[in-house]
A and B are shown apart, each in its own frame.
Chain A
Amino acid sequence: MIRVNQVSKRYGAIEALRQVSFEVNPGEIFGLIGPDGAGKTTLFRILTTLLLPDEGTARVNGRDVVANYKALRAEIGYMPGRFSLYQDLTIAENLAFFATIFGTTIEANYENIRPIYEQLAPFKDRRAGKLSGGMKQKLALCCALIHSPEVLFLDEPTTGVDPVSRKEFWDILAMLKQKGMTILVSTPYMDEATRCNRVGLIQNGELLQIDTPAGIVSRFDQPLWAVTSDEMYRLIQDLRTHPTIKTAYAFGDTVHITVKHSFYPEDLFADLGAKNHQNIEIFPITPTIEDCFIGLMETQKTP
């Protein structure tokens, strides 16, 4: 449904995208996961025909994003990262505006947006500028869906959104997928990877890895341990300077460590005990997507 082949883009001295290639299958939720400045938005703008690549080609819904941009625009829905609806128009007016632009009506496509719009309907006469973050996001999604697009592009729809609203938004995406929609979505939140069929981890304009979330985790090629004690900050410092430990990163109430061959949990336990740590626990764990991302960043740093 989406086919990206060796796409590069630079802004002056900055290489925003370096030979990025990937494919998105029909009916799939593909997550592009990476921090701000990784190149996610540049890639979205190229795929939605708003920016020309310097090198490489991309096809969406069978059409070349450069040669067939006009036809393609009618077939895709795009929700940009920055809220870009008319703040002075009401919910209903914004929706009617976007329907008109695409030569359709709200009525003709109401089924597409019904489950989302029903949550907005009680406030339909409220101006978009006066809506809460969660509601703005739902309205923007309705506007991106009003012309029944084949492919949906969502650029960081959940950034700055609290965990409850984020979860609700992903529930909506799962529902759209059920109806057969193909979705390319970007996010800086690593935990959202598990809501995607496949993900691409992106950093500094490069795709570090593409796989299913489970596949990415299974590629993590070294043992990972979790360590806890009563004093987190001191624990991290002591772990970082320990001779048998390679990396130590805080993960919630534990510290995740990767280790050298000389590592034995019993020895570490004794060493931490000698430094007066209380309630020490050391146990092996399965990596999360965030562990994998950090691991890939570490190898990228030291080639």
Chain B
Amino acid sequence: MKAIEVRALTKRFGDFTAVNAINFEVAQGEIFGFLGANGAGKTTAMKMLIGLSRPTSGEATVAGFDVYRQTEQIKRNIGYMSQKFSLYEDLTVWENIRFFGGIYGLSAAKIRKKAVALFERLSLHQEANALVGSLPLGWKQKLSFSLAILHDPKIVFLDEPTGGVDPITRRQFWDMIYEAADRGITVFVTTHYMDEAEYCNRVSIMVDGRIDALDTPKSLKNHFRVETMDDVFLRLARNSQFKEA
């Protein structure tokens, strides 16, 4: 079974077509980069996949569940990290873990076990009782990701997870993404850093609501005869018809 299957998925707002009949599949354990200019339709497409927005037409399944009829099952089987930092700043690290573990229905024993492993992995022992608001941004992002996969979801959706973090933390964050993928978690990620596009197994590039390119970074660079993903992106996004509309 594919982790994500999308057929002719479309979303219209009035006479504006935000997502225009897109097709793609994501394999289990794949790191899939979902790229596009601002306003190309990425967020709208992602919202449909995580069960927050009903498609106008087309079909899609996420972790085997239908995006029209099984949105609750989808939410139980995925993790989501939004670009805005979304942990509770006024709760401690430990309280955040308990809160998110509880939301996902994990038992107290399981939450404790997960917490120990998480403190270990992030070297956060000292900070277990620190307010999340007092942590440096890089740690917050890593904690946020760890909580998004606390319940071992089949798929995790990451919306610009590394915006504004320092170059070392950014790479540590990608180490965590690789580790998660290694454990079989499918990763669906958006980013504006084109070097990060290179770290994905495959990337799609949205332009004006369509997916104009979808392949491995290497094949895309070969196809467009350019050296970097930055150049691939510029080549495609310049074709946009209604970029500033």
Interface 1/0 per residue, B14-55 and A, CB below 8 Å: 000000000000000000000011111000000000000000
CB < 8 Å: which of B182, B217, B237, B244 contacts A162? B237
**27 A-B pairs with C-beta separation under 8 A:** A35-B167, A35-B169, A36-B137, A36-B165, A38-B166, A123-B244, A134-B244, A135-B244, A160-B38, A160-B160, A161-B38, A162-B192, A163-B194, A163-B233, A163-B234, A164-B233, A165-B37, A188-B163, A203-B166, A233-B182, A250-B195, A252-B198, A252-B228, A253-B198, A253-B218, A293-B167, A294-B167
Contact present for A134 and B243 (CB under 8 Å) = yes
Contact present for A134 and B38 (CB under 8 Å) = yes
Q: A-B pairs with CB below 8 Å: how many?
A: 96
Asked if A241 CB lies within 8 Å of chain B CBs, one says: no
With A134-B38, A134-B244, A163-B234 given, can you name 19 additional A-B contacts, CB distance below 8 Å? Answer: A35-B164, A36-B164, A132-B38, A132-B39, A133-B38, A133-B39, A134-B39, A135-B244, A156-B164, A160-B160, A160-B163, A161-B38, A161-B192, A162-B38, A162-B192, A188-B164, A252-B195, A252-B198, A297-B166
List the 9 closest A-B pairs by CB distance, nearest first.
Answer: A35-B166, A36-B164, A252-B195, A252-B198, A162-B37, A233-B178, A133-B38, A164-B237, A253-B198
Interface 1/0 per residue, A107-130 and B, CB below 8 Å: 000000000000100010000000
Asked if B230 CB lies within 8 Å of chain A CBs, one says: yes
Contact present for A250 and B228 (CB under 8 Å) = no
Chain B neighbourhood of A298, CB < 8 A? 168
Query: A37-B136, A133-B39, A134-B243 are known contacts. Are A159 and B164 too (CB-CB below 8 A)?
Result: yes
Query: A252-B198, A252-B228 are known contacts. Are A167 and B234 too (CB-CB below 8 A)?
Result: yes
Asked if A225 CB lies within 8 Å of chain B CBs, one says: no
Interface 1/0 per residue, A130-157 and B, CB below 8 Å: 0011110000000000000000000010
Asked if A245 CB lies within 8 Å of chain B CBs, one says: no
Asked if B174 CB lies within 8 Å of chain A CBs, one says: yes
Beta-carbon nearest neighbor of A131 in chain B:
B244
Chain A neighbourhood of B137, CB < 8 A? 35-37
Chain A neighbourhood of B199, CB < 8 A? 232, 250
Asked if B67 CB lies within 8 Å of chain A CBs, one says: no
Query: A233-B182, A250-B174 are known contacts. Are A297 and B168 too (CB-CB below 8 A)?
Result: yes
From residue 187 to 226 of chain A, which have CB atoms closer than 8 A to chain B? 188-190, 203
Contact present for B230 and A163 (CB under 8 Å) = yes
User: Complex formed: what's the CA distance from A188 to B169 in Å?
Assistant: 13
User: Complex formed: what's the CA distance from A236 to B178 in Å?
Assistant: 11
Asked if B62 CB lies within 8 Å of chain A CBs, one says: no
User: Complex formed: what's the CA distance from A290 to B168 in Å?
Assistant: 10
Contact present for B229 and A252 (CB under 8 Å) = yes
Chain A neighbourhood of B2, CB < 8 A? none
Asked if B121 CB lies within 8 Å of chain A CBs, one says: no
Beta-carbon nearest neighbor of B193 in chain A:
A189
CB distance from A279 to the nearest CB of B (A): 11
Beta-carbon nearest neighbor of B170 in chain A:
A35
Asked if B129 CB lies within 8 Å of chain A CBs, one says: no
Asked if B12 CB lies within 8 Å of chain A CBs, one says: no
Asked if B225 CB lies within 8 Å of chain A CBs, one says: no
Asked if A69 CB lies within 8 Å of chain B CBs, one says: no
Asked if B183 CB lies within 8 Å of chain A CBs, one says: no
Asked if B238 CB lies within 8 Å of chain A CBs, one says: yes
B residues at A contact (CB < 8 Å): 36-40, 83, 136-138, 160, 163-169, 171, 174-175, 178, 182, 192-195, 198-199, 217-218, 228-230, 233-234, 237-238, 240, 243-245
From residue 266 to 303 of chain A, which have CB atoms closer than 8 A to chain B? 290, 293-294, 297-298
B39, B165, B166, B168 pick with most chain A CB within 10 angstroms: B166
Chain B neighbourhood of A251, CB < 8 A? 195
Beta-carbon nearest neighbor of A120 in chain B:
B244
CB < 8 Å: which of B36, B166, B171, B182 contacts A34? B166
Chain B neighbourhood of A37, CB < 8 A? 136-137
Asked if A249 CB lies within 8 Å of chain B CBs, one says: yes
Beta-carbon nearest neighbor of B228 in chain A:
A252
Interface 1/0 per residue, A234-271 and B, CB below 8 Å: 00100000000000011111000000000000000000
Beta-carbon nearest neighbor of A232 in chain B:
B199
Beta-carbon nearest neighbor of B169 in chain A:
A35
Contact present for A132 and B198 (CB under 8 Å) = no
Beta-carbon nearest neighbor of A240 in chain B:
B175
A232, A253, A298 pick with most chain B CB within 10 angstroms: A253
Beta-carbon nearest neighbor of A233 in chain B:
B178
Beta-carbon nearest neighbor of A37 in chain B:
B137
Contact present for A294 and B168 (CB under 8 Å) = yes
Contact present for A297 and B234 (CB under 8 Å) = no
Contact present for B217 and A253 (CB under 8 Å) = yes
